[in-house]
Amino acid sequence: MRGESSLLLALARLVLDERTLAECRALLAEHGRKFDWGYFIDRAARHRLLPLVGRHITRHRLFHGEPGMPAIPYHWVYEAAYLATRDRAALLAEEYGQVIDALTTHGPAFAVRKGPTVSCLYGDPGLRRSNDLDLLVDRADLPALAEVLASLGYREGWLDEGGTRLLDYRRTTRMFWQVNLPNALPLVKLANRELVESYRVDICFDIFPARSEASCSTIEMLAGSVPFPMFGRVGPALGPADRFIDLCTHLHKESTSLYYIENGSDLELLKFHDVALAALSITEEKEWSAVRAAASRYRADRSVYYALHHVSLLYPEAVPPVEVAHFEPADTAYLDEYGTFDGRPGPWGTPFLDRLFDVSRPDRVATASSIPLT
Q: Which residue has the higher pLDDT, 70 or 275?
A: 275
What 8-state DSSP symbol labels residue 362? G
69 bridge partner residues: 66
Residue 80 in any domain: the answer is no
In this structure, what CATH number is given to the domain that contains residue 96?
3.30.460
Residue 371 in any domain: the answer is no
Q: Out of 5-9, 63-67, 155-159, 295-299, which region has the weakest mean confidence (pLDDT)?
A: 63-67
Are residues 122 and 35 both part of a single domain? no
Whether residue 206 contacts residue 220, with contact meaning beta carbons closer than 8 Å, is answered with no
Are residues 232 and 245 both part of a single domain? no
- Check pLDDT > 80 for residue 329: yes
Residue 201 in any domain: the answer is yes
Distance CA 253, CA 58 (A): 34
Residue 256's φ and ψ, nearest 5 degrees, are -125, -5
Are residues 142 and 253 both part of a single domain? no
Residue 79 in any domain: the answer is no
Which range of residues forms the domain containing residue 137?
87-238
pLDDT at residue 294, rounded to an integer: 97
Are residues 220 and 103 both part of a single domain? yes
Are residues 246 and 204 both part of a single domain? no
pLDDT at residue 83, rounded to an integer: 97
Are residues 219 and 306 both part of a single domain? no
Q: State the pTM of this model.
A: 0.96
Are residues 298 and 312 both part of a single domain? yes
Distance CA 19, CA 23 (A): 6
Are residues 146 and 207 both part of a single domain? yes
Are residues 227 and 110 both part of a single domain? yes
Residue 191 in any domain: the answer is yes
pLDDT in tens, 143-184: 999 999 999 999 999 999 988 899 999 999 999 999 999 999
Spell out the long-range contacts of 183-188 with Cβ–Cβ below 8 A and sequence spacing 24 or more. Answer: 184/142, 184/146, 185/156, 186/132, 186/156, 187/146, 187/149, 187/154, 187/155, 187/156, 188/154, 188/155, 188/156, 188/157, 188/158, 188/159
CA distances from 6 to 3, 25, 44, 226, 272 (A): 5, 12, 12, 39, 16
Are residues 178 and 38 both part of a single domain? no
**Is 161 strand, coil or helix?**
coil
Residue 199 in any domain: the answer is yes
**Is 158 strand, coil or helix?**
strand
Are residues 243 and 329 both part of a single domain? yes
| Distance from chain centroid for Cα 259 | 15
- Check pLDDT > 90 for residue 105: yes
Are residues 226 and 269 both part of a single domain? no
Q: Out of 18-22, 159-163, 218-222, 275-279, which region has the weakest mean confidence (pLDDT)?
A: 159-163
Helices in 281-359 by DSSP H: which ranges? 285-298, 301-314, 321-327, 352-356
Domains in the chain, number: 3
Whether residue 260 contacts residue 266, with contact meaning beta carbons closer than 8 Å, is answered with yes
Mean pLDDT of 24-32: 90
Domain-ending residue, one of 47, 73, 99: 73
Domain-ending residue, one of 18, 51, 73: 73
pLDDT in tens, 291-308: 999 999 999 999 999 999
Domain-ending residue, one of 40, 73, 106: 73
Residue 370 in any domain: the answer is no
Residue 20: CB atoms within 10 A of its CB come to 15
